[in-house]
Amino acid sequence: MSEHPVSRFDVPDLDELPDDIRETILAVQEKSGFIPNVFLAFARRPAEFRAFFAFHDALMESNEGLSKAEREMIVVATSATNHCLYCVVAHGAILRIRAKNPLIADQVATNPAKADLSDRERHIVDFALRVAHESASVSDDEIDDMRAKGFTDDEIWDIGAIAAFFAMSNRLANVAALRPNDEFYLLGRLPREH
């Protein structure tokens, strides 16, 4: 639909890519119906592409401890505070779908304090925002406070690691001016999509 560039940096043709990367991309296209631009933009750097998506999947594709919807809430909250258009729009869509809630992404992106969150979700988002903004001062007391609220060490690690991973991701996308695909904006907003 739009004719704006995907990235500030050159994007390679699919047929120039190493086989494993082209196959990953085609598999995503098969599943989503389109190729999310992050795959095209990062394909410029095969070694980084492999490490980036391996790291991403290790953090985001698990339901152990944090649910997938909780993981996406962390992404949307921290990406919004970092003003990363790609991540807010793309992961906003995923969050709507995973949380089965068409309103939640706009709420979390605009003002998490006013979003319809459970207490557990609020603790997750608040801690993630601490990591996004002020990780240097995260104290032993705060870690203990999270434990007292019922979070395991693996859950605390996951919140911190997802906030940290998107601190990276948001900066890469911002430097590249990575453009979200138009398809993401409407995903998960209509009843039939759930």
**Applying CB under 8 A, which residues contact a second copy?**
2, 4, 8-10, 44-45, 47-48, 50-52, 54-55, 58-59, 80, 82-85, 88-89, 92, 102-103, 106-107, 109-111, 113-116, 131-132, 135-140, 143, 153, 156-157, 160-161, 163-165, 167-172, 174-177, 179, 182, 185-186, 189-190
Query: Could you tell me the smallest distance in angstroms from the CB atom of residue 138 to a second copy?
Result: 6
Nearer to a second copy, 30 or 140 (CB): 140
Query: Could you tell me the smallest distance in angstroms from the CB atom of residue 114 to a second copy?
Result: 4
Nearer to a second copy, 45 or 120 (CB): 45
Query: Could you tell me the smallest distance in angstroms from the CB atom of residue 123 to a second copy?
Result: 14
Nearer to a second copy, 69 or 89 (CB): 89
Do you know the residue count of the chain?
Answer: 194
Query: Could you tell me the smallest distance in angstroms from the CB atom of residue 71 to a second copy?
Result: 14
Q: How many CB atoms lie within 10 A of CB 146?
A: 21
Nearer to a second copy, 171 or 194 (CB): 171
In sequence order, the 6+-apart residues with CB closer than 8 A to the CB of 142 are 127, 130
Cα–Cα distance, 167 to 78 (Å, whole number) = 8
Nearer to a second copy, 30 or 118 (CB): 118
Token pair for 134: 């002020």
Question: Concatenated DSSP letters for 49-102?
Answer: HHHHHHHHHHHHS--SSS-HHHHHHHHHHHHHHTT-HHHHHHHHHHHHHHHT-S
Give start and end residues of each alpha helix (H) in the chain.
19-32, 37-42, 46-60, 68-81, 85-99, 104-110, 119-134, 140-148, 153-176
Query: Could you tell me the smallest distance in angstroms from the CB atom of residue 76 to a second copy?
Result: 10
